[in-house]
Amino acid sequence: MARLQLPNPPPSSAAVRAVMQANRAKNTGPERKLRIALRAAGLGGYRLDWRNVPGRPDISYPGRRVAIFVHGCYWHHCPRCYPNLPKSNPAFWARKFELNHERDARKRRQLEERGWTVQEVWECDIRDRLAEVIAEIRSSLEAYASSAVGTPPGQRR
């Protein structure tokens, strides 16, 4: 399936260009904060940006088939925060965020079709309710472990 690329509009200033170039795809602040909390909770043993499954989850537990995507509230347009569209070139940005949503849904669907549990963690959740996020992840990991008890390894989920 070919990805639809939008032509990027030219930056309105050198400052805007510098800010956009500084955005990271991996190892973002929310991702790092979540990983620190996972290790502190005894939930280490994950893989980062694991390429062996569709969508390259930000954090994955391959043996338990749990994938975690850490979404920035701005870039993935959080349903709770719902940040405003930029005033410059709003049609481009509306389409950009729409395509991001479609890509996120496609990644989730592909993983779930393969028997994975997918969790999408929002930047605001990491900031405002980190303990609950860790509890939800722990619950997903334990659910897989309990469903796999007594099942031969080749037949697990």
Give residue 85's domain range: 24-149
pTM metric for this prediction: 0.78
For the four alpha carbons of 22, 97, 83 and 78, in that order, the dihedral sign comes to: negative
Start-to-end CA span in the chain (Å): 27
CB contact burial 92-125 (16+ within 10 A = b; e otherwise)? ebeebbeeeeeebeebbeebeeeebbbbbbbbeb
Give strand pairing partners of 61: 66
Residue 119 resides in a domain: yes
Residue 79 resides in a domain: yes
Q: Residue 122 belongs to a domain with what CATH number?
A: 3.40.960.10
Confidence of residue 156 (pLDDT cuts 50, 70, 90): very low
Residue 7 resides in a domain: no
Task: State the pLDDT at residue 119.
Answer: 96
Within 13 Å and on the Cβ side, how many CA atoms surround 52?
8
What are the E-state strand segments in 38-140? 47-48, 59-61, 66-71, 117-122
Residue 11 resides in a domain: no
104 close to 76: Cβ distance less than 8 angstroms: yes
Model confidence over 8-48: pLDDT tens digits? 666 666 665 555 554 556 678 899 999 999 999 999 999 99
Residue 155 resides in a domain: no
